Amino acid sequence: MPRRVVVTGVGLISPLGVGTEPTWEALIAGRSGVGAITKFDASTFPVRIAAEVKGFDPQVWLDAKEARKFDLFVQYALAASLMAVENSGLKITPDVADRVAVVLGSGIGGLPLIEENHRTLQEKGPRRVSPFFIPGAIINMCAGLVSIRLGAKGPNMATCTACSTSAHAITDAYLYIRHGYADAAIAGGAEAVIDPLAVAGFASMRALSTRNEEPEKASRPWDRDRDGFVMGEGAGVLVLEELEFALRRGAPILCEVLGIGMTGDAYHITAPCEDGDGAARVMAAALKDAGIAPEQVDYINAHGTSTPHGDRIETVAIKRVFGDHAYKLAVSSTKSATGHLLGAAGGLETGITALVVARDVIPPTLNLDNPDEGCDLDYVPHQARKQTVRVALSNSFGFGGTNACIVLGKWEA
């Protein structure tokens, strides 16, 4: 019999706030985290806006010397993980350390640190490249550093599946617990590439919004005037535990992970299938895994990036899976407020969805002034909504046609 898995802690660092409660409060209040880029001089770039994290001080979690060794995404991952563990009350003592997994990832990883050391190489020569460059930039160091800091000695893994990265980290952690490889897991991801090369690269693809004069209105999923996503940064980490393990220690259970889905489009390196095939199959697979009928779902935290094709196709997929019930459930995109955190998006959004299920408040889709043709579902425009949410889905789709869906359900003792 597969073991049941619950969520006991959430740690969020986002453009809305450093911390879970600041992020949640700003999200429910309908505030936007998008503004002008301040991390570098973007005056000559076609895209001059992003959703930056404000007020993050790595020395709250790392001393100054140690912080300099690691790229910002690793710092974000550590901070969010420590928040999630504190939130859960989990004590990783020697008697349980072997049964605590760490599964964290990043879609792009330490690109800013790579650029910095490349400049050093070009300007000052190979002897001046930092000895901490490689361990400070590699993607799996977010999981490695968290494991070292907390003494978690169970499975230690990193995922890298583009914008599905941290959702896949959570699905992997769920499977480790479900099938007995661990009793608890710290899972999610981090991203920090608001950086000249990354912004230039996404801009050259014409993937980003160019609404430079109205940054807070740039991320507008399903709106007819949407023109691309807004790059964001931050981290989202959850603590998952086997139900009996959590109950024995009196853990604060937020919700239950009912099931997961994973699919591949096998279609295109960046574009989703026009008929929503991959997205539809991943939601259907997650519902089947959870043993949940489509009519039981109350809310979907959509991938909802604010791209012309992606939003429309996700709507098509939802209609394929849910039929008439698609018009009865609530769908919103928190990326309208946070921007798109790339590899960290799934962790942030699954964390938010856990809070939705626990607190019965649905966050709004900002800037949805004029729904596009065919975008006719209940997208919870402009204002948060108090509503009982017993079952919710969180969708994450990535370049290469990789998809993840997580089903969360209300916990009742």
Those residues whose C-beta lies under 8 Å from the C-beta of residue 125, and which sit 6 or more positions away, are none
49's CB contacts (< 8 A; 6+ apart) are 34, 35, 36, 37, 209, 211, 212, 215, 218, 230
Report the length, in residues, of the chain. 413
Reply yes or no on whether 273 is catalytic: no
Structure tokens at 134: 């490689």
Among 354, 344, 411, 366, which Cα is nearest to 72's? Answer: 344
- Among 395, 87, 405, smallest CA distance to 237 is for 87
Q: 22 burial class (0-12, 13-18, 19+ CB within 10 angstroms)?
A: middle
- Name the nearest CA neighbour of 346 among 171, 226, 156, 108: 171
For the record, the structure tokens of 177 come out as: 């617990």
Cβ count within 10 A of residue 213: 10
Nearest to 302 by CA among 172, 405, 162: 405
137 and 71 Cβ atoms separated by less than 8 Å: yes
Q: Which residues contact 214 (CB under 8 A, 6 or more apart)?
A: none
Pairing of strands 391-398, 402-409: antiparallel
* Residue bearing tokens 């990326």: 335
DSSP H or E run through 196: helix 196-204
Distance CA 18, CA 305 (A): 22
| Cβ atoms of residues 186 and 101 within 8 Å | yes
Q: Which of 163, 255, 375, 405 is catalytic?
A: 163
| End-to-end Cα distance, the chain | 20
Residues 6+ apart with CB under 8 A from 76: 13, 53, 56, 190, 191, 192, 233, 234, 235, 344
The tokens 């076609």 sit on which residue?
Answer: 46
Please list the active-site residues. Answer: 163
